[in-house]
């Protein structure tokens, strides 16, 4: 699943390509939008909100998209060959005289009034990479359910927006807590919010993420040299997600964590 930094980068690419320009091509390939024609309208801006993309268009319209697991927006110059997937995976095409943005495998694509954006993003917590970032509110949200596992609480976009499965593991490693530790048992829960902000900001300008534990099961911990481990934990939607940690830097609490260990 894309992280907040991925969505932030996608919004910047789209805004650079489309912002302030008139659309000369509009093709929305989902049934409810099949007859919508946005040509002749100017794209005002493209704004990220957590993991959501809001493309605001002249006339009080917003094209809302969400990448989910496999979606992507690609930008192409005139005459450039489109790359990003099969043609039947294209869900949206927005073209100006100089650039064409193509959305592949978009799990969510809907057109709404800009004044109604709260319907799709109003439930989100403060955005780690957004102008609304509020660390005190994010901390209160995380601590609202003290018994909830830290990893699950971090993935809940209603608490703070922008953390995905990769950064869940990285944040827990940074604060030396296992992802299944109840948030109420954290000795310094404010460190979690600080670490989340620092990690996403450090990666938002990078073309490749800097990670310490994610995807590195069996490799030495960069902090202590102990072999990292992997387990499968549920996310807020009930899906199993790979989770990585160091058994020395992040000691397990004595209670059964209900995880399934993998690797060494």
241 in active site: yes
Cα–Cα nearest to 26, from 15, 17, 35: 35
Catalytic-role residue among 3, 189, 204, 229: 3
DSSP E strands in the chain: the ranges are 25-28, 43-49, 52-57, 61-66, 72-76, 90-95, 100-104, 108-113, 229-234, 240-245, 260-262
Joined tokens for residue 198? 């620092």
144 is catalytic: no
DSSP 161-193: BT--HHHHHHHHHHTT--TTSBGGG-S-THHHH
Active site residue 201: no
Cβ neighbours around 69 below 10 Å, total: 9
Catalytic member of 2, 48, 149, 189: 2
Which residue intervals of the chain are DSSP H helices?
Answer: 4-18, 118-121, 135-142, 150-155, 165-174, 190-203
Active site residue 3: yes
Catalytic entry in 51, 168, 197, 229:
51
| Residue 168 dihedral angles phi and psi, to the nearest 5° | -55, -50
Active site residues: 2-3, 51, 241
């Amino acid at each position: 699943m894309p992280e907040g930094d991925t969505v932030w980068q996608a919004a910047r690419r789209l805004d650079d390509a489309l912002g302030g320009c008139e659309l000369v091509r509009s093709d929305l390939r989902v049934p409810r939008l099949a007859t919508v024609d946005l040509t002749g309208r100017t794209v005002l801006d493209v704004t990220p909100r957590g993991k959501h993309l809001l493309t605001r268009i002249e006339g009080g319209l917003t094209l809302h998209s969400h990448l989910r697991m496999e979606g992507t927006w690609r930008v192409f110059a005139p005459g450039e060959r489109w790359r990003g997937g099969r043609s039947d995976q294209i869900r949206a095409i927005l073209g100006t005289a100089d650039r064409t943005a193509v959305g592949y495998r978009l799990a969510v694509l809907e057109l709404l009034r800009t004044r109604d954006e709260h319907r799709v993003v109003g439930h989100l917590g403060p955005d780690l990479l957004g102008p609304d970032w509020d660390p005190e509110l994010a901390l209160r949200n995380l601590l609202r359910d003290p018994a909830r596992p830290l990893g699950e609480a971090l993935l809940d976009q209603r608490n703070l927006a922008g953390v995905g499965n990769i950064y869940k593991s990285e944040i827990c490693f940074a604060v030396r807590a296992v992802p299944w530790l109840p948030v109420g048992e954290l000795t310094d829960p404010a460190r979690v919010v600080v670490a989340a902000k620092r990690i996403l900001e450090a990666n938002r300008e990078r073309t490749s993420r800097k990670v310490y534990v994610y995807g590195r099961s069996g490799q030495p911990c960069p902090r202590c040299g102990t072999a990292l481990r992997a387990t499968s934990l549920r996310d807020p939607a009930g899906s199993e997600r790979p989770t990585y940690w160091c058994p020395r830097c992040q000691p397990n609490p004595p209670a059964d964590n209900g995880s399934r260990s993998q690797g060494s």
